[in-house]
Structure formats: C-alpha cells, structure tokens
Structure 1
Amino acid sequence: METLANLESFVRSAESGSFSAAARRLGLTPAAVSRNVAQLESNLGVRLFQRSTRRLTLTEAGERFLHSVSGGLDSIQAAIADLTSNAGQPAGVLKLGAAPAFARDYLLPLMPTFLECFPAVTPDWHLDNRQVDLIAEGFDVAIGGGFELTPGVVARRLAPAHLVVVASPGYLRGRRLPRSPGELTALDCLAMRSSSSGRVRSWTLRNAGGGEHPLELRPRMTLDDADALCRCVLLDMGVALLAVPDVLAHLESGALLRLLPDWYVDAGPISLYFGSQKLLPAKTRAFVDFIAAAFREHDWETRFAAGAGKRG
C-alpha cells in the first residue's frame, strides 16, 4: 500500500509542474520529493511523469492516476488537519494573498475581531498586485478578481469588481465635463499598466441600457500601482479608471468626482479563492465564513457596485 508521503509528492508535483515547487509546499527537499515519486512509479510499475530540465509533464497514465487520487488525498489531508488542530478548532498558519490597498482599507480593520474570535490562527499575509497560484505557492486563501480557476481551486463571490472614471474637483475646475465616453479624449488620462504584460489594458465601458464603448485613450502618464494612480488623481493630474473599492472613500467625501456616472467597466466579481476539497481545514473555513459575513454586514456588495447612487 502506498504511503501518504508518496501520493502527496506525486499530486503536488503534478499540480505545480516541478519537484522544486512541490518541495517548497511540502517542506521537503526536491531530492526527497523526486525519490517519493520514483518509489511510487516503481511500486505501480508505470511511469507517471515525462521529465525534462524545465518541467514535469504527466504521462497518459499519470493523468488518469491524478484524476483518481487527488480529490481523495485532499479529503484525507483536510480530515487529518481538522482532527490534529486543537481537536478540530481553527488553528495554525493561514497564508493569504491580496492586493495591498484592498487589504489595508477593508481587510486589516477586520483582523482585531477575527483574531479575538480565533486566537489559535496565525495570519500570514502576502500583499501584492498579482494573481497568486494557490496550489503551487501553498496559499490557503486569496482575495481578488479575475483569478483563473485552476484544478483544485474554487471561488466564493463577494461583490462586483466595477471600475469607474474619476477626477478631482481641482482638475475639473474650468474644464467642460464629458457627456459621452468619446469626449474623454479631451482630458489628461492617467492609466494603469499591467504588471504581467507591461501594457495598458484595453477596457470597454458599458451602461445599464446595454450600450458599450471601447475606452481608447492615450495616457498622459502610466503607473503599475492602483494606490499611486489614485494619488495622482487626487493631485489634480488628470482622470483615471479605478476600481470602486479604491476610490469609494474619496467619492463619499467629495475629494473625487465620478465622470460619466452612467458608464462603468465590469471586471467580473471580487471573490474568495480557496481549495476545493470537501473538508476544508478549520482555519480556512473560519476565515472564509468570517470575511463573507463582514461583506454582508458592511453591505460592500452594494457599495462596490457602479450603480450605487452614481456618486457624482
């Protein structure tokens, strides 16, 4: 009968595509993971991986075997973790990925209450403007929008991810307000550059009536950080397309105004991403349920929607 270590080494190597990535997740050396997989192949009498200097690729037999065992392995691990972590109580290190600004403004203020409710959980936060790979990088949960749902990952929707065009009263003073998306070309545009592609992303504005208009602007300035982009707008430097959560407080205070209030970009939902195993570790389930309840309590689903009061 195969040991749990051999099966775990195989599944994690298949998910991440390398022994090194699997080793980092399992807390082993790459050599140990490679030995475990080799022993599994020897015991089964089949080759599970095609090995190259760059990446592991599953063989046909490896694909079938992964499909058969991965779900069961996750359930076994979750059951063991649930029983050994303070008799099933939420405990242990909770590795989370989120965007810095969103974490600072919305998640961190919730943490005193969370830590009071779950004192045995130790949050380990990694704040970065990128989409983390939950499986390969060993994250318990991530919060954001537009994540690719890779095998083993599910999403729990929290709120819409709407983007709106904003500017400061100071910048708009003496300027004619645009009445249609096409008139935005007369204003100084501040744009967000993708950290992955290095290019300014193309967006399509839409309205409640089903109308669509491509947002094709020549940026006066480009940045790769939403917080810095918002700061530029506050400094009267121009107009920008920003996510509602990033500008909500400024819109509510009047520090920023929304242009073209009937138009917005729908970038999909803001979601919680976590493992799809049936028995989640108690620490992960506690955090997921806590954050979902906080979103309902603060009515962020409504407040993050572009149509909420039009805000200017």
Structure 2
Amino acid sequence: METLANLESFVRSAELGSFSAAARQLGLTPAAVSRNVALLEKNLGTRLFHRSTRKLTLTESGERFALGVREHLDGLQSAISDAASERGEPVGVLKVSVALAFGMEYLLPLLPDFMQRYPQVRIDWQFDNRQVDLIAEGFDAAIGGGFELSQGVVARTLAPAHIIAVASPAYMKGRRKPATPEDLADLDGIVMRSASSGRIRQWSLRNAAGAVQQAPLRHHLVLNDPAAMTRAAVLGLGVAMIAVPDALPYLDSGALVRLVPKWYADAGPISLYYASRTLMPAKTRAFVDYLVDAFQQRRLAERFAGSLG
C-alpha cells in the first residue's frame, strides 16, 4: 500500500509543475520529493512524469493517476490530522500569512491563549505585506484584504477596512483644521505609491449621509508601505490616509488625531482566507473559530469602522 508522503509529493508536484515548488509547500527538500515520486513510480511500475531540466509534465499514465487520487487526498489528510491524537485535538503546523503591522498589533497578542488552548499546534506565521497564494504556497490561512479567490479558497469577513485622514497634533499646530475632504489640499500629503501599478493612490471620502468628496492631498512625501506612512505621520511630516487598524493605537495614545472625522473611504473588508475543504483540518478549524470569536469579543469590527467617527 502506498504511503501518504509519496502520494502527496506526487499530487503537489503535478499541481505546481516542479519538485522544488512542491517541496516548499510540503516543507521538504526537492530531493526528498523527487525520491518519494520515484518510489511511487517504482511501486506502480509506470512512469508518472516526463522530466527535463526546465519542465516537469505528466505522462498519460500520470494524468490518469492524478485524476484518480487528487480529489481524495485533502480529505485523507484532514482525517489523519483529526485522528492524530486520541482526543481528536488540533495538531500539526499552522501556517498563516498576515501583514506585519496588523499582525504585530492584533494577532500576536492572541497567541499565548491560543497556544495554551491548543498545545499540539505548532505556529509557522509569515509577516509580509503581500497577497499569498494559499494553495500553491501551502498556507492554512491568511488575513488581509483584496485577495483573489482562486478555486478552493473562501473568505470570511472579520471587519471593515476603512481609510481615514490623520496627522500629528504637532503638525496641525498653527494650521487651519480642515472642515471637508477638499480642504485637505491645503496640507502636506504623505501618499502611497502602489507597488504593482506605480501610481499614487487617490481617495474619495464619503460620509454617513452618502455624500462623496475627493481628498486631494499634495504629494509632499511618497512612500510604499502603510506602516511607514503611519510612522511618518506620527513624526509630524504631514497628513496620511491610512486604515483605521494602523491608526488606532496612535489615536488612542494621542500621537495622531483624526481629520474630517465624519468622512472615510471604504477599501473593502478585512477577511480571513482559508481553503474550503469538505473535511477541514482540526488545526485550521480551531484557528478560524478562535480568530472570529476574538474579533467579536474585542469588538474589533466596530473599532475599525471609520464610518462611526
């Protein structure tokens, strides 16, 4: 009977088109993945891949075998994970992706309680301001906004991602307080350049009555990271348009003040992304339920709502 490691190495290599990519997802070396596939081919008595220095492609036999085994592998892995301890407790490595500033402020403080509650779950978190491919890169979950929902991935909304205008009290000292978003044009802007398009992000703000106005900030300081924009605003370098979660600790401490507080921009939701499996691994289910409950207990959706002023 074939081992799960051999089958998993074959399926991931077929999906990703290389032993190296499969190895990164599985936490193995490329040599180990290649050996597993070679052993599977030996046991089956047939070649599953055409190998070259540039490309890995399935043979006709490999395509038939992949179709037969792929749909059952995720369920088998989940069943093994759930049965890994006698009490059915969550076990295994929990691989999560989250933006650095958001993760440091709102997720890391949850870890002590989560790890005490689920001692057999090992944490493997990556703090990175990018949209990962959950399936291809082997993540159990990701927290952020605007992820492309590829096949097999679902999103669960945690809170709104509202953008607000902030500045330091020192910067605003002696300056006229803006009454409307259009008045922000008189102030120095800390603006963001998109890494993908190279363009400066412009915002239109709205209020509870449904009115919409442009927020035409001058390009006084151009940065490419929200955390850097927040820090620049705290240093008194101008006005920044940033997400409420990034601004909240500094608003609470008084290091930043909110300008035109009845106005905000809606950048979509902050969501929890994870693979939609018939049998979700117990470790992933535990994390999803824990995070959703933590956001509700701490009323973070309400706190992140810039529409509430």
Amino acid at match of 2:236: D
Amino acid at match of 1:16: L
Classify 1:230/1:72 alpha carbon distance in 2 versus 1 (closer, same or farther; 3 Å).
same
Amino acid at match of 1:243: A
Report the 3-state secondary structure (helix = DSSP H, G, I; strand = E; otherwise coil) of the residue aligned with 1:184.
helix
CA contact (8 A) 2:143 2:270 kept: yes
Report the 3-state secondary structure (helix = DSSP H, G, I; strand = E; otherwise coil) of the residue aligned with 2:171.
helix
Offset at residue 79 of structure 1 (A)? 0.8
Offset at residue 241 of structure 1 (A)? 0.6
Counterpart for residue 272 of structure 1? 272
CA contact (8 A) 2:9 2:22 kept: yes
Counterpart for residue 77 of structure 2? 77
With the length of structure 1 as denominator, give the TM-score of the two structures. 0.83
Classify 1:12/1:216 alpha carbon distance in 2 versus 1 (closer, same or farther; 3 Å).
farther
1:183-198 to structure 2, matched below 5 A, reads 183-198=183-198
Counterpart for residue 220 of structure 1? 220
Classify 1:257/1:44 alpha carbon distance in 2 versus 1 (closer, same or farther; 3 Å).
farther
Give per-residue Cα distances to partners, 1:51-110, cap 9 Å, x unaligned: 893x77899999999787644321111111211245521122211211111112111111
Amino acid at match of 1:281: P
Classify 1:67/1:244 alpha carbon distance in 2 versus 1 (closer, same or farther; 3 Å).
farther
Q: Distance in 2 between matches of 1:181 and 1:64?
A: 60
Q: Distance in 2 between matches of 1:178 and 1:30?
A: 58
1:1-312 to structure 2, matched below 5 A, reads 4=4, 7-13=7-13, 15-30=15-30, 33=33, 36=37, 53=54, 70-85=70-85, 87-308=87-308, 310=309
Please report the RMSD computed on the Cα atoms of aligned residues, expressed in angstroms. 3.4
Classify 1:90/1:96 alpha carbon distance in 2 versus 1 (closer, same or farther; 3 Å).
same
Offset at residue 253 of structure 1 (A)? 3.5
Report the 3-state secondary structure (helix = DSSP H, G, I; strand = E; otherwise coil) of the residue aligned with 1:278.
coil
Q: Distance in 2 between matches of 1:232 and 1:285?
A: 38
Classify 1:159/1:4 alpha carbon distance in 2 versus 1 (closer, same or farther; 3 Å).
same
With the length of structure 2 as denominator, give the TM-score of the two structures. 0.84
Q: Distance in 2 between matches of 1:56 and 1:186?
A: 58
Give per-residue Cα distances to partners, 1:22-44, cap 9 Å, x unaligned: 1222345546656839977xx79
CA contact (8 A) 2:159 2:271 kept: yes
Which stretches in structure 2 are left out of the alignment for 5+ residues? none
Identical columns (%): 58
Larger CA deviation: 252-261 vs 96-105: 252-261
Give per-residue Cα distances to partners, 1:250-288, cap 9 Å, x unaligned: 223333221222321211111111121122221111111
Give per-residue Cα distances to partners, 1:130-166, cap 9 Å, x unaligned: 1222222221221111111122221121111111111
Q: Distance in 2 between matches of 1:258 and 1:61?
A: 63
Offset at residue 303 of structure 1 (A)? 0.8
Classify 1:120/1:184 alpha carbon distance in 2 versus 1 (closer, same or farther; 3 Å).
same
Q: Distance in 1 between matches of 2:206 and 2:71?
A: 40
Which stretches in structure 1 are left out of the alignment for 5+ residues? none
Q: Distance in 1 between matches of 2:59 and 2:76?
A: 25
